[in-house]
Structure 1
Amino acid sequence: MANSKYEYVKSFEQPDLLLPNTWIVVRIDGRGFHKLSDRYGFIKPNDRRALDLMNAAAAEVMKELPDLCIAYGVSDEFSFAFHPSCQLFERRSAKLVTTIVSTFTGYYIYLWGTYFPDTPLQPGGLPSFDGRAVMYPNSRILRDYMSWRQVDCHINNLYNTTFWMMVLKGGMSNTDAEQELKGTISSDKNEILFKRFGINYNNEEDIYKKGSVIYRQYQLEDVKAGSSKEQEEEETTPLQAGIPSKSQQEKIRKLRRKAQVVVDHVDIIRDEFWDRRPWILSGKPGRLPAESK
């Protein structure tokens, strides 16, 4: 590109590189989704169509960006994690965030009609999302972040399930329901659901209680005693291999594209999930599952 007297304006662009050798989590959230859910008649307390739409859009993001290792979503939010070895966009924050937000939003709108065929989107009511990038220094803290989001999912869902049963089936006003639930603990809400409405919260669908985790499926590993501790110690030390070359990065991307992207609703707080899927924290593609005969 030829130089010009106007090129000096480039000097105002400031670098926004994220720290090397850290996990990068890009978390997106729906903007004004309370109004959007009311406008399009989302079912309370959970609308399976809306959650399936979120999961479908997130799965497409995972397919578009093989550098991603795992994603976790609940309600109108999703968290996407890049491995510390990731060099996509030279780890520029704005590029990573805007790419994920725009890709997710594009698929969310594109797939809307699949899940809401009788409720087309309208001008003035289009869904949009914002995003941010956060760095985590090791896999233990990354897991704690994911655990925090799943615990939050359970707490919010138990509250919302109880609240909306009291309003929709119990005939209470929003204010009265909020007042009665103020200061209650989990056992109190479970008792209200069971005694008043015959609902055993344990029987609620896992997608509502545990949220959705999306990852690439390889052959599951057998759980070995002490594996989590050994893996944690390994992952909390600085990376020794250095930055992968461009050819190595592209090779890993090709291997990841061959794996199936799956949406699951499981406990990601306990060690078993991570022990059986070591490729998520290692960043190295696993063995593809043997084809069924």
Structure 2
Amino acid sequence: MAKSRYEYVKNFERESILLPETYIVIRVDGRGFHKFSSKYDFEKPNDLCALEVMNSAALKLMETIPNIIMAYGDSDEYSFLLQRRCDLFERREFKLISTFASTITAYYQYYWSQSFPEKPLQPDRLPTFDARTVCYPTKELVKDYFRWRQVDCHINNLYNTTFWSLVKSGLTTQEAENRLIGTLSSDKHEILFKEFGINYNNEPEIYKKGTIFVRELDFESDVNIDLSKRQAQRLQKKLKKSEIKKLHCDIIKDEFWDCRPWLFS
């Protein structure tokens, strides 16, 4: 490549390299999605079609980047887990952030046009996403991160289900908000059941638990406790070609993680 006397300006560029030998979690989050959902008249408290647009975008991103071993999403947010020794983009933080944010934005806009042809996107309110990275040194920290996101999903959905039930019954948004101040989870369950005949436990799992995409393997045949270098390479190839399954299940209990040791191989 030809050089010029102006090339010295590259000396001002700085790279942020993520810590080696740590699990990388990249979380993408919609920017201004409260206004976006109002603009395009999302169904409250949950719009299943809009959720599936987000899920489709996340799945496509996971298919595009085989280094992603697992993803968890709720509403306009998704968290992607990269393996501990992942060297995607040489672990350059800014490259990872920009790639994930821009790619999921592109896929979201594409799948939106497929799902909502009657609601074309307008230049004054386009869906965009930002991203952040976090490095976790142990698998227990990774598990607790995803547990945290699922608990947050449950808390938010229970609140929103109760809030919008009150609004649809005739309360203003301010009145509904005041009604729920200081209420516990049990109080919200009681309001839903006694006043609206809604058993929250029977609500769809996608709303209560969010969506998990995970690369699945046959545990008995594909995973050993101690892997040689050659076995590890074969496992990596199988992971990249493995089926990505979509789940709406509990990831707080150990069962989900115990059945999938390859997530931390």
Shorter chain as denominator, the TM-score bin is: over 0.9
CA-to-aligned-CA distance 1:132-190 (integer Å, 9 cap, x gap):
1111111100111100000000000000000000001x211111111110010010000
**Structure 1 residue 115: deviation in Å?**
2.1
**Structure 1 residue 220: deviation in Å?**
4.9
Paired residue secondary structure (2:127): coil
| Counterpart for residue 10 of structure 2 | 10
Paired residue secondary structure (2:218): coil
Instruction: Output the CA distance in 1 between the equivalents of 2:199 and 2:31.
Output: 33
| Counterpart for residue 194 of structure 2 | 195
| Counterpart for residue 179 of structure 2 | 180
User: Aligned match of 2:242 in 259, 269, 285?
Assistant: 259
Residue 209, structure 1, aligned to residue 208, structure 2: yes
Correspondence 1:86-101 to 2 at 5 A: 86-101=86-101
| Counterpart for residue 128 of structure 2 | 128
Question: Relative to structure 1, is the Cα distance of residues 143 and 164 closer, same or farther in structure 2, using a 3 angstrom cutoff?
Answer: same
Paired residue secondary structure (2:119): coil
Question: Relative to structure 1, is the Cα distance of residues 253 and 219 closer, same or farther in structure 2, using a 3 angstrom cutoff?
Answer: closer
**Structure 1 residue 16: deviation in Å?**
0.6
Paired residue secondary structure (1:11): helix
Instruction: Output the CA distance in 2 between the equivalents of 1:261 and 1:275.
Output: 18
| Conserved 8 A contact 1:221-1:276 | no
Residue 271, structure 1, aligned to residue 254, structure 2: yes
Q: Which moved more, 1:134-143 or 1:186-195?
A: 134-143
| Counterpart for residue 31 of structure 1 | 31
Instruction: Output the CA distance in 2 between the equivalents of 1:87 and 1:150.
Output: 28
Q: TM-score scaled to structure 2, two decimals? A: 0.93
Amino acid at match of 1:261: I
Q: TM-score scaled to structure 1, two decimals? A: 0.84
User: Superposition RMSD on alpha carbons, in Å?
Assistant: 2.2
Q: Which moved more, 1:43-52 or 1:209-218?
A: 209-218
Count of matched residue pairs: 261
Amino acid at match of 1:46: N
Paired residue secondary structure (2:190): helix
Residue 22, structure 1, aligned to residue 5, structure 2: no
Identical-residue share of aligned pairs (%): 55
Flag as ranges the 4+ runs of structure 1 deviating above 2 A: 219-222, 251-257
| Counterpart for residue 237 of structure 1 | none
**Structure 1 residue 15: deviation in Å?**
2.0
| Counterpart for residue 81 of structure 1 | 81
Instruction: Output the CA distance in 2 between the equivalents of 1:92 and 1:188.
Output: 47
**Structure 1 residue 217: deviation in Å?**
2.0
Residue 41, structure 1, aligned to residue 24, structure 2: no
Correspondence 1:157-172 to 2 at 5 A: 157-168=157-168, 170-172=169-171
